[in-house]
Structure 1
Amino acid sequence: MSQLLSLAVPENARSVQFNTPRGVFAALDMAPSESTVRGNTALLVPGFMGSKEDYLSILPHLSRRGVRVVAIDGRGQNETGKASANPSYARDDMAQDLVAIVQEIDDRPVHLLGHSYGGIAARAAVIATEGDPSLWASLTLMNFGPASVSVWQQDRLQLLLSAVECMPLAAMWPYVRNNEVTVPEDVAQFLEQRWLRNAPEHLAAAAAQMLSETDRTPELSRIPIRKAVISGTPDETWDPAAAERMARELDAEFFRLEGGGHSPNVHRPTETAAALAGFWSASREAALA
Structure 2
Amino acid sequence: MTSDPAFTPPPNTSTRPLRTARGTFAVVDSPAAPGVRPRGTGLLLPGFTGSKEDFALMHAPLAARGYRTIAVDGRGQHESDGPERDESAYERSELARDVLAQAAALGPLDTPLHLLGHSLGGQIARAAVLIDHAPFRSLTLMASGPARISPSQQQRVKLLRDALAVMDMAETWQAILAMGPPEEVGGPARGIGGPDLLRRRWLATKPAQLIATGRQLTTEPDRVDELAAVPLPFHVLSGATDDTWPVPLLDEMAVRLKARRTVIEGAEHSPNADRPLPTAEAVADFWDSLTAPDEV
Q: What TM-score do the two structures reach when normalised by structure 1?
A: 0.91
The match for 2:231 is 224
Q: Does 1:235 align with 2:242?
A: yes
The match for 1:124 is 127
1:212-254 per-position Cα deviation (integer Å, ceiling 9, x unaligned) = 0010000000000010000113211111110110001000000
- Structure 2 residues without counterparts, runs of 5 or longer: 1-5, 183-189
Aligned equivalents of 2:290 and 2:77: distance in 1? 30
The residue type paired with residue 97 of structure 1 is D
Match of 1:59, SS?
helix
Root-mean-square deviation (CA), in Å? 2.4
Aligned equivalents of 2:146 and 2:191: distance in 1? 34
1:283 is displaced (CA, Å) by 1.4
Identical counterparts, % of pairs: 38
- Structure 1 residues without counterparts, runs of 5 or longer: 1-5
The match for 2:258 is 251
Q: Is the 8 A contact 1:40 1:109 kept in 2?
A: yes
Aligned equivalents of 1:223 and 1:287: distance in 2? 24
Q: Is the 8 A contact 2:84 2:207 kept in 1?
A: no
Q: Is the 8 A contact 2:9 2:28 kept in 1?
A: no
Aligned equivalents of 1:185 and 1:273: distance in 2? 15
1:10 is displaced (CA, Å) by 2.1
1:53-81 per-position Cα deviation (integer Å, ceiling 9, x unaligned) = 00001111111111100000001111102
Matches within 5 A, 1:194-205: 194-205=201-212
1:176 is displaced (CA, Å) by 2.4
The match for 1:59 is 59
Q: Is the 8 A contact 1:221 1:249 kept in 2?
A: yes
Aligned equivalents of 1:253 and 1:284: distance in 2? 15
Q: Is the 8 A contact 2:30 2:70 kept in 1?
A: yes
Matches within 5 A, 1:26-105: 26-82=26-82, 88-105=89-106
Q: Is the 8 A contact 1:102 1:108 kept in 2?
A: no
Match of 1:165, SS?
helix
Aligned equivalents of 1:141 and 1:274: distance in 2? 15
| Equivalences, count | 280
